[in-house]
Amino acid sequence: MREKIKFDPWSTEDIEDYSKLFDEFGVSPFEDLLAEVPNPHPYMRRHVIFGHRDYQSILDAIRESKPFGVMSGFMPSGPVHLGHKMVMDEIIWHQQMGADAFFAVADMEAHSVRGVSWKECTEVGINEYVLSLIALGFEPPGRIYFQSKDPVVKDLAFELGVEANLSEMSAIYGFSGETHVSHMMSTLVQSADILQAQLSVYGGPKPVVIPVGFDQDPHIRLTRDLASRMRMFKVETREGHISVRAKHPNKEAMHDIADRIEGDVKLYAEHVDIYDGDVKKIESIVRAVEIEHDGYGFYPPSSLYHRFMSGLTGGKMSSAIPDSIIALTDPPGIAAEKVKKAKTGGRVTLADQRKLGGEPQKCTVYELLLFHLIEDDAHIAEIFTECKEGKRTCGKCKSLAAELMTEFLREHQDGRGCARERLDEFGLKI
């Protein structure tokens, strides 16, 4: 029997076949939704985003001009690089589509998991991640915050802890008796990061999407479970009727629900049965009553999953191997040299390249062009075809990627300089 893929957010193995994640983890293929997405991001069109959980709720909100949110963030423990840029791009695209946008600097995670000092968390968080986020297009009223400085997030994390237990956390994250408590607490803070966008202070419950690499899926799974457990009522579709059940006795709330639902309704001590209602309308009524009775009414968060970028030297991209990444703060000339030394999908000899064709699907330089550097889909498709047919050399792609990367970094770093002058717009200062 094949061993299952194992993930945790702090040490992830490579994924060779993304399709395995659909069956093993209950992820749905994003390709099935692509036709419904208005003005899809290049990551969507190019199948860089490969999977999702419940993204249909986000598409419905976009189509119906209803409130929705986007949230993600980073642990400030190293340089901001192109892998981080992918998440930032997705946050910004959703903000431009109308989302309430939230960006967390996960300093409590960095401090508890990596031992990063609070001072360094602040400096790295702003000088690396926040400046690049703003330079890439993140705008007010989008919210940028540090976990340790946010009482709303910390209070919500405490409340979520009531619904979590050690056995579950160990099963999801692999925690052992040696795992210190602050590390465990940081995972609940991240669940609070995800759910805070639905608090009344930010407009109340709404669909929220979390764009991430699949290494972060444990956080998504835990938070979806916690969102459900924090609900006061459960709406169930049963044979012949819809049932609304209270987790704890609440006679007044049950009466409110029954009074607001039209049609054939039967009220019992701890549940209401509806025999001719629309489930979405009933869920909306139940959520409204829950909020009036001091509940949360959370929607389970949605998620988008994108492919990991390969390291320029082959294998995984890692900040511990500087030549494997291009940092958004790298001098453009240094970055260009990294591109020229990068591992490609070319053949050993030029003759073999022309005879057998290259393997762009294994090429880190092609990934740079596909993920970040070429906007035109037709152009990137042409490069792929020419490589496969042996009509294009690795040197040509490296020269093009190096030129485009130099241009991008110069522009981006100019934007970072401007972003520093805008920190006060987000309530931040260095």
401-412 pLDDT per residue, tens: 999 999 999 999
Residue count (the chain): 430
Class level of CATH domain 322-426:
mainly alpha
Distance CA 271, CA 255 (A): 10
User: 265-267 and 271-274: which strand pairing?
Assistant: antiparallel
Q: What confidence tier does 239 reach under pLDDT thresholds 50, 70, 90?
A: confident
Nearest Cα neighbor of 104 from 218, 211, 230, 214 is 211
Q: Where in the chain is the domain with CATH 3.40.50.620?
A: 20-230+300-306
pTM of this prediction?
A: 0.92
**Contact (CB, 8 A) for 77 and 110:** yes
Helix (H), strand (E) at residue 232: none
In this prediction, residues 192-212 reach a mean pLDDT of 97
pLDDT in tens, 43-68: 999 999 999 999 999 999 999 999 99
Strands (E), 153-231: 208-213
pLDDT in tens, 313-334: 988 787 778 889 999 999 999 9
Nearest Cα neighbor of 192 from 150, 224, 154 is 154
Peptide bond into 141 cis (omega under 30): yes
Distance CA 136, CA 84 (A): 12
Q: What is residue 298's three-state secondary structure? A: coil
**Contact (CB, 8 A) for 410 and 332:** yes
Distance CA 150, CA 158 (A): 13
CATH hierarchy code of domain 20-230+300-306? 3.40.50.620
> For residue 109, which amino acid is it?
E
So what's the pLDDT on residue 145? 98
Q: What is residue 19's three-state secondary structure? A: coil
pLDDT in tens, 342-381: 999 888 888 888 888 888 888 999 999 999 999 999 999 9
**Under 8 Å CB-to-CB from 327, ≥6 apart: which residues?**
79, 80, 81, 335
Distance CA 298, CA 207 (A): 9
Q: Where in the chain is the domain with CATH 1.10.240.10?
A: 322-426
C-alpha dihedral sign at 229, 230, 232, 236 = negative
pLDDT in tens, 69-85: 999 999 998 999 999 99
User: 49-53 and 28-29: which strand pairing?
Assistant: antiparallel
DSSP string, 47-88: TSEEEEESTHHHHHHHHHT---EEEEEE--SS--BHHHHHHH
Distance CA 324, CA 339 (A): 10
Nearest Cα neighbor of 50 from 29, 78, 23, 32 is 29
- Residue the block writes with tokens 């979590």: 164
